[in-house]
Every structure is written in C-alpha cells, then in structure tokens.
Amino acid sequence: MIKIRVIGLEDGNHAFDIHTEKLRMSGNDYEFKNISIVGELIIHGTKVNLKGNLEASVDLNCDRSGKDFTENIKKEVDFIFKFNANGIEILDDDIDNSLFRLEGNLLNINDLIYEELLLTIPLKKIAPEYRDVEFEKLFPDFIDKNTGKDEKKDTSTWNELKKLNFN
C-alpha cells in the first residue's frame, strides 16, 4: 500500500521516499514490481502538493516476437490536493476522486499511482532487442519475392473503374 502522512505536518516542504515490492489491482492484467516514489510534499495551508519521481517495472509480452520481457517505467508525478469540509479532493478535473482516500492522518494513493503507471505502458509492447530491427529482417518468410523486380504494377485507384462495363 502506498500511503503518505499529510495530517499533522506543518506548512513547508517534507521529503518522502516510498518503496513497495508489488502493486496489482483486481480485474487488471498488469502487475507492477519494485515501485519507488521519491519526492517532496509541499504543504501550504489547506493545499498539499505532491511532487516526485515514480519508477517501476512491469512484465510485458512482445508484440513482434511473442517473448516476455521486463519494461522499466519512469515518470514524474505532480498532484495538488485540497482539504475541504468533505475531506480531501484533487485539483485536477481529469483525475477521479475515488482513486485516493484519506485514512486517518494518511493519504492512500495506491489506486492513483497504479493508474499513473498504467498510462505509461507503451501501446506497442516491443522488447528492447527488437525495437531497432525492421520487420523484413525479423520475418524474411513473409516478404513477397517479386516485389520491385521487373514487374510494374499499376496501382492507380482508377484501374478497377476502367473494368466496368456500362452497356
């Protein structure tokens, strides 16, 4: 669980360093490992600014080769929370308030960090050893042998219309 003490701290800057081994949410396929958040909590009156560097690793399946690999993720996070009569809320309309909650004097940001990590997973999951390799070199069996040799194909979009018979 990723929790940060926010109540009872005086105004000013407070450094934090949080490490956890695993982070997984029910219903999701990804399990993040070796999560580390190092940063600073800036408290000013009823506002709390959480700035830090987030690092984690996740096991993915390569889209090109089908092999499993581990992707290291790094991201800067910057959240601003505000205390009000109802508890605490985040000052960002794009973030759902259900992703964090106040538990005693601790702010539980477990779901919020998981969401941030999910957003950093690349859409194309390609292992590092295949990132700079062209498809033709990886899979030479799928290359058309006649492509570009003596045969000129007219690929005009009008060719199919020329075949129509209007009589």
- Considering its fold, how many domains does the chain have in total? 1
pLDDT digits (tens, 9 = 90+) for 117-157: 999 998 989 998 888 888 778 777 777 665 544 455 666 77
Q: Is residue 156 part of a domain?
A: no
pLDDT value, residue 145: 60
CA distances from 78 to 39, 42, 50 (A): 10, 11, 6
In a domain? residue 166: no
Return d(Cα 66, Cα 88) in angstroms, integer.
44
For residue 70, being part of any structural domain is answered with: yes
pLDDT, residue 150, reads 46
Kindly state the average pLDDT of the residues 12-17.
94
**Average pLDDT value for residue range 39-49:** 92
Share of the chain above pLDDT 70, in %: 90
CA distances from 137 to 67, 89, 108, 128 (A): 17, 52, 48, 16
Which residues, in sequence order, are CB contacts of 32 under 8 Å at separation 6+? 22, 23, 24, 56, 57, 58, 73, 114, 117
Nearest CA among 115, 109, 96, 120 for reference residue 50:
109
The Cα–Cα gap between 111 and 102 comes to 13
Lowest-confidence region among 25-29, 39-43, 147-151? 147-151
Q: Specify the pLDDT at position 167.
A: 62
Task: Give residue-wise pLDDT tens across range 46-77.
Answer: 899 999 999 999 999 998 888 999 999 999 99
Instruction: Write out the residue range of the structural domain in which residue 48 sits.
Output: 3-133
Tell me what pLDDT residue 147 has.
55
Q: What is the pLDDT of residue 154?
A: 63
Tell me whether residue 152 is in a domain: no
